[in-house]
Every structure is written in structure tokens, then in C-alpha cells.
Amino acid sequence: MRKHINKILAASEPLGNLEEVERLVKKVAEMDVEAIAILGSLASKGTTNRPYNKLFKMLAAARLPTFYIPGPEDVPIEEYLRAAANIEIVYPYLRGVHATFAMAPGYIVFTGIGGTVIDDPHTIREERETLRYPGWEVEYQLKFLGELKDYQKVFLFTTLPEHKGFHEQGSEVLAELIKTYNPRLVLVSGKELKHEILGTSLVVIPGSLAEGKFCVIDLHQHAVEAGSVR
């Protein structure tokens, strides 16, 4: 594995489409990227046999630092957590960063929160029927970032931060977190490739992997390139 990360391949919402995940890993072998980021929902809600183990093993075949979070449909959360815990023992370069963090080569911290973030402080957290958290909890979970000021940061979310450039309703709490901690890159789940600058941070929606879409981000150049596995 390479010592420094500059180019990151990102995709969101595989929704259990293992054929597209396999195609993505084959694409990785042909590309000059140093890391992979996968944003939930990883599996499709309602399926009886959720393919987390197969999905993680496919990603491991790329043999690159790989970071991921669950999405609103990845419930009950213990199924996702159990699969992630087991696979990361065998493949330590795979790292789930939901409500936690992982250090990456080149003094980079990957962290994030999966599921839906609701700004209303009275929102009840939910991890069985859907994945949902109140904004104040996300602020608390990421409080540790105040002690990592010298590190570049990459955020992973499945909820859009508030930004007029996206023309969609987003979370003001997440937007404020981005302004506070100034991550170099923020990745957010979404079907279509979009990117905007929020403060000094590049915010990227990489596109839906279930529809064959991904993108490559150059951290140094703040450049985004669209890609397709089809």
C-alpha cells in the first residue's frame, strides 16, 4: 500500500448490488487511486440475507485503504456492525468510520456519521427500523476532532449539509460542523454527481453505485472526475 493518500475513489448507495461493487473493484485496479470511500446505504432495506460480508470481501480485493459508513437502510445496525467487526480483523485496511475515525497514510483522518441526521434536538435516535440521529448527537460524536487540528480531514455523511448550491434541503448542523473543523473533503450519499465548496471544504456527492456511478477526487487539486463501472 502507498504511504500517502491524494486520490480517492468514492461511490454511494450500492444498495446490495454486488455486481456493481465487483465491477468497481476491477476498475480500481486500472486507476491511479490510493483509497476508496463507500457511503451507505450498503444494503437494501427489507432483504432477508443482507450481503455485508460479500460486499466487504469484494472491497478487500482492491487492497487499498477503504473507508465506509452505513446509510438509513442499513438496519438493524448490529448486522452491519457485526460484519464490519469480523472483516476488519482479517483485512485491517478496511475501516468503518460510523461515529468513530480511522487514520490514513499522509496524516489524514477519515470520520463520519451514517444514516439520516435531523437538526431538531428532540429527534429520537433510531437504529432498528431506520438509521437516524439528532444533530446534537453528531456534534458530540465528532467532538474529538478538536484535538486533531494538525490532520487533514475527510468527512463521510449520508445526509446532505445545508448548501444553497445543491438546491435541496440539508442539515444546518452538518454545515456548521464542516465550517468548524474545515475538512479538506466531505463526501455525501446521492444519486447524481455534484460538488460545491462550503467554506474551504470540497463537498462531493459521488453518484449512486447501484446505477454504476462513482467519482475520483484529487485532494490536492480539489478536482472531481466522474466515472462509470458500465
CA distance 42 to 50: 9
CB contact set of 46 (below 8 Å; sequence gap of 6+): none
Q: How many helices (H) and strands (E) does the chain have?
A: 5, 14
- The pLDDT assigned to 112 comes to 98
Taking the mean position of all CA atoms in its chain, how far away is CA 178?
15
CA distance 53 to 83: 6
Res 1 pLDDT > 60: no
Q: Find where cell 493518500 sits.
A: 5
Q: How far apart are the first and last CA of the chain?
A: 27
- 85, with CB counted inside 10 A (0-12, 13-18, 19+), is exposed
pLDDT digits (tens, 9 = 90+) for 161-173: 999 888 889 999 9
Domain assignment of residue 1, yes or no: no
| C-alpha cell, 184 | 479538506
The mean pLDDT value for 128-134 works out to 97
The structure's pTM equals 0.96
Q: Across all residues in the chain, what is the average pLDDT?
A: 95
Domain assignment of residue 2, yes or no: no
The count of domains in the chain is 1
Residue 155's pLDDT band, with cuts at 50, 70 and 90, is very high
Closest CA to 43 of 83, 68, 65, 14: 14
CA distance 217 to 170: 22
CA distance 57 to 54: 5
Type of residue at 219: L
| C-alpha cell, 52 | 455485508
The mean pLDDT value for 165-192 works out to 95
Question: In which domain, by residue range, is 204 found?
Answer: 7-228
Is the CB of residue 94 less than 8 Å from the CB of residue 56?
yes
Percent of the chain past pLDDT 70, that is, above it, reads: 97
Q: Compute φ and ψ for 97, nearest 5 degrees.
A: -120, 20
Is the CB of residue 97 less than 8 Å from the CB of residue 112?
yes
Is the CB of residue 168 less than 8 Å from the CB of residue 160?
yes
Res 117 pLDDT > 80: yes
What torsion, rounded to 10 degrees, do the Cα atoms 91, 97, 99, 100 define? 70
pLDDT digits (tens, 9 = 90+) for 29-72: 999 999 999 999 999 876 667 899 999 999 999 999 999 999 99
The mean pLDDT value for 151-159 works out to 97
Closest CA to 43 of 23, 69, 13: 13
Q: Long-range contacts made by residues 45-48, C-beta under 8 angstroms, separation at least 24?
A: 45/72, 45/73, 45/75, 45/130, 47/16
CATH code for the domain in which residue 38 is found: 3.60.21.10
